[in-house]
Amino acid sequence: MAIIHRTTLKPTKLELLTTWLPSRPWYGGAGEPRLAKAGGFRLDDPAGEVGIEFMVVTDEAGPEAVSYLTPLTYRGAPLAGAEHALVGTTEHGVLGRRWAYDGCHDPVLVAELWALIEGRAPAQAQSVTGTLDQEVTRSYAGPGLPVEQITAPVVEDTASGTLLAAPDGTALRLHRVLRPAPQGAPLLPEGSTGHVGGAWQLPDGTRAQGLFAALHADGRG
């Protein structure tokens, strides 16, 4: 079980993301973001070594606020071969130097995301130790994937989001730009075989629910 430490980070997560987000093809802003934490959830690393957080941030720099999904992993040492996915380093008041990565390129996050979709791992509250996040939804209708396929997808960032493609053709599309779903509307897109949904706070203080990721068995994503 991940332990949430009440301590300092220098630079903070929002400061790291402020520098990193404009380099992403799915970022729609023009100039430096003005970010606020809007929600998210965590997953547990079974080995207890890697922090896994699905963080939602809202950029209020433009004429309209835009919320982004930023899956992150936090490690006590660099992840070999993942220099291109490094968001930045930060000094944690308890754990020391931490390397923060775009979690879509981290096999630990990818494996636990699949486990969440298949119902084998629960979503944890973002800021409270040992508490489940009851606002996260998931579904899956299909056979389980072998571990070697799950943890080594081809990752592609585009203007529409991030695609994780497994060798068998299964594709998981992460919706980086989040859009609130209509009240009472199903989150599972037509033709998809699984999903992850969640909630975040809008600038006016209301809660929104929307699609975080959609799974397709035919590679469409």
Question: Residue 86 corresponds to which amino acid?
Answer: L
In three-state secondary structure terms, 108 is helix
H or E stretch including 121?
A: none
Query: Which residues lie closer than 8 Å to 192 by C-beta, 6 or more apart?
Result: 214, 215, 216
Which of 80-89, 100-109, 144-153 is least confident?
144-153
Lowest pLDDT segment from 25-34, 38-47, 186-195? 186-195
* Cβ atoms 172, 221 nearer than 8 A: yes
pTM of the predicted model, to two decimals? Answer: 0.92
**DSSP bridge pairs for 132:** 124
Domains of the chain, by residue range, sit at 9-216
Contact 176, 26 (CB under 8 A): yes
**Confidence label for 72 from pLDDT (cuts 50, 70 and 90):** very high
* 85, 67 Cβ separation under 8 angstroms: no
Structure tokens at 169: 């053709």
Q: Cα 163 to chain center, whole Å?
A: 12
pLDDT in tens, 176-191: 999 999 887 778 888 8
Instruction: Give dist(CA 170, CA 167) in Å, integer.
Output: 7
